[in-house]
């Protein structure tokens, strides 16, 4: 079938249900598409050439890409790190198992910043993924491979992980939808830990309906994850009917200096979209928002320091040649980890060290709780909060490589919802006239309101029709 790769997930499932195409035909079509695009994009670390049926001999053949820090049985999971370069897991992450049981096919593992630490996918130990809209620019990070794969039509949907914005930021840079659900809504079992109190698996797609379909499969309580929510999941694709006159939206007041001129202008247009459609809007100020960035890097780095202590060259992963156990630890970690991972381990170890624990880590935890409380208070009055996803459009490869502070600032708007565990989605808005690059904005809702969030995003997509822009472009 010609240009099958341009069809979205719902359309592909309908074709399969009507037996208009076989799982094998569908899978091979997307393999060919990946072969064509990967010469330029570099979204995939590992590609799965064969269509593998699940244990019940059942398969739909619809391909899904999985970020390479999510465990996949029998398929390498490298975390884009030399430390795990040849690691083949003996089991599946819960989300992967649920997708396989539903007939999805894991077509490959996507590139990322090493151990999900970065905002550009330049920190991968293997190669840099390129933004499909402009090959000289980054796709965002750390889930840059997944967002680029969806944007370039290599796959209809993909999984990523979001700690401080690693789904929403690359979704904005690549012009696709990307959701981070409520913390605990999706099991983290099988997600390689970076910062356990923040990590969350998320979904990329070209429209909200496809995200809802995947979310219905992967969300829900998991006995293997004590942090997964006990609350029942919803039929996310059964969208609420949005009545603008009864819908209150808080608009985040942002500092003038925090946005590029192009994003600032687009933000006004984004707000105007909701005004023209009759929504009730009111500007709000979150006083502690600006501290989110500092709080996040203390907490996330501290948790990374603890989580990555297991990579010592003894139990699994890269093992350096050494004459003593001390040298084995030092050389294995020194050779196995990249600069950004080392930087965060050092920052986290310092923050947790004797004499600094109370001054840095505990103070950061206190401010985190206050930020979450401020955001929660907004939802006492409003149904949604809208705000920018990124301060600027996708930057050039290498532009921020030597300036980690500038790189960290890419997450200025995505971090506070993560600190509070709130669900949030990036919605692509327009192609900037100056940059000719996608511009996206965030919609945030209260805890476990993913169906509400996707309902508004679907209302929005029906008006904006950004998916058509992607299809025409690629």
Q: Which DSSP string do the residues of 222-247 spell out, in sequence order?
A: -TT-TTS--SPP--TTSPPPP-GGG-
- Please check whether residue 213 is in contact with residue 10, taking contact to mean a CB–CB distance below 8 angstroms: yes
88, 92, 199, 356 from 299: Cα distances, Å: 30, 28, 12, 13
- Edge-to-edge strand ranges of the sheet holding 63-67: 44-47, 105-110, 63-67, 157-162, 200-205, 177-180, 424-431, 438-444, 384-388, 248-252, 280-284
Tokens found for residue 1: 């079938």
- Please check whether residue 144 is in contact with residue 123, taking contact to mean a CB–CB distance below 8 angstroms: no
Between CA 435 and CA 390 the distance in angstroms is 14
Q: What is the Cα Rg of the chain in Å?
A: 21
Nearest to 338 by CA among 298, 311, 302, 300: 311
Catalytic residue among 166, 187, 228, 445: 166
Q: Note if the bond before 432 is cis, omega within 30 degrees.
A: no
Adjacent-strand bridge partners of 251: 283, 386
Torsion of CA 190, 192, 195, 196, to 10 degrees: 20
Between CA 304 and CA 325 the distance in angstroms is 23
Catalytic residue among 142, 351, 418, 455: 142
Between CA 399 and CA 114 the distance in angstroms is 18
Residue 166 falls in the annotated catalytic set? yes
Catalytic residue among 67, 130, 180, 430: 67
Count helices and strands (H / E) in the chain.
Answer: 15, 11
Q: What HEC string does 132-199 produce?
A: CCECCECCCCCCHHHHHHHHCCCCCEEEEEECCCCCHHHHHHHCCEEEECCCCCECCCCECCCCCCCC
3-class DSSP assignment, residue 393: coil
Between CA 323 and CA 337 the distance in angstroms is 20
3-class DSSP assignment, residue 79: coil
**Known catalytic residues?**
67, 142, 166
């Amino acid at each position: 079938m010609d240009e099958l790769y341009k069809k979205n997930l719902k359309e592909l499932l309908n074709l399969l249900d009507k037996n208009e195409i076989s799982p094998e035909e569908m899978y091979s079509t997307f393999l060919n598409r990946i072969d064509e695009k990967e010469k330029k994009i570099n979204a995939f670390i590992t590609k799965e050439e064969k269509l593998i049926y699940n244990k019940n001999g059942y398969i739909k053949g619809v391909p899904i890409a999985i970020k390479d820090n999510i465990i996949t049985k029998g398929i390498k999971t490298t975390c884009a790190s030399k430390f795990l370069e040849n690691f083949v897991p003996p089991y599946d992450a819960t989300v992967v198992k649920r997708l396989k049981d539903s007939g999805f096919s894991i077509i490959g593992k996507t590139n990322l910043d090493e151990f999900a630490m970065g905002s550009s996918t330049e920190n991968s130990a293997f190669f840099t993924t390129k933004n499909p809209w402009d090959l000289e620019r980054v796709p965002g990070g750390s889930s840059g491979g997944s967002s680029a794969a969806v944007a370039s039509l290599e796959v209809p949907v993909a999984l990523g992980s979001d700690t401080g914005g690693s789904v929403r930021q690359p979704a904005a840079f690549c012009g696709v939808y990307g959701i981070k659900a409520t913390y605990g809504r999706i099991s983290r079992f099988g997600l390689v830990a970076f910062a356990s109190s923040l990590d969350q698996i998320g979904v990329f797609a070209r429209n909200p309906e496809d995200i809802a379909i995947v979310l219905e499969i992967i969300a829900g309580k998991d006995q293997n994850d004590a942090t997964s929510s006990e609350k029942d999941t919803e039929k996310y694709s059964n969208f609420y009917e949005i009545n603008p006159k009864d819908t209150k939206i808080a608009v985040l007041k942002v500092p003038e200096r925090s946005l590029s001129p192009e994003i600032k202008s687009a933000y006004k247009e984004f707000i105007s979209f909701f005004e023209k459609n009759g929504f009730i809007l009111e500007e709000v100020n979150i006083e502690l928002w600006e501290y989110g960035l500092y709080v996040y890097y203390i907490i996330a780095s501290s948790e990374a320091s603890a989580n990555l202590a297991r990579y010592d060259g003894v139990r699994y992963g890269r093992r350096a040649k050494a004459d003593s156990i001390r040298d084995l630890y030092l050389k294995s970690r020194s050779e196995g980890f990249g600069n950004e991972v080392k930087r965060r381990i050092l920052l986290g170890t310092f923050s947790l060290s004797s004499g600094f624990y109370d001054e840095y880590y505990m103070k950061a935890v206190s401010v985190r709780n206050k930020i979450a409380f401020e955001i929660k208070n907004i939802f006492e009055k409003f149904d949604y909060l809208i705000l920018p996803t990124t301060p600027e459009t996708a930057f050039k490869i290498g532009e921020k490589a030597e300036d980690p502070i500038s790189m960290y600032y890419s997450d200025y708007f995505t971090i506070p919802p993560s600190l509070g565990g709130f669900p949030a989605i990036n919605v692509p808005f327009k192609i900037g006239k100056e940059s000719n690059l996608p511009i996206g904005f965030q919609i945030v809702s209260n805890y476990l309101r993913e169906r509400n969030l996707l309902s508004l995003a679907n209302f929005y997509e029906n008006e904006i029709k950004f998916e058509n822009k992607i299809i025409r472009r690629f």
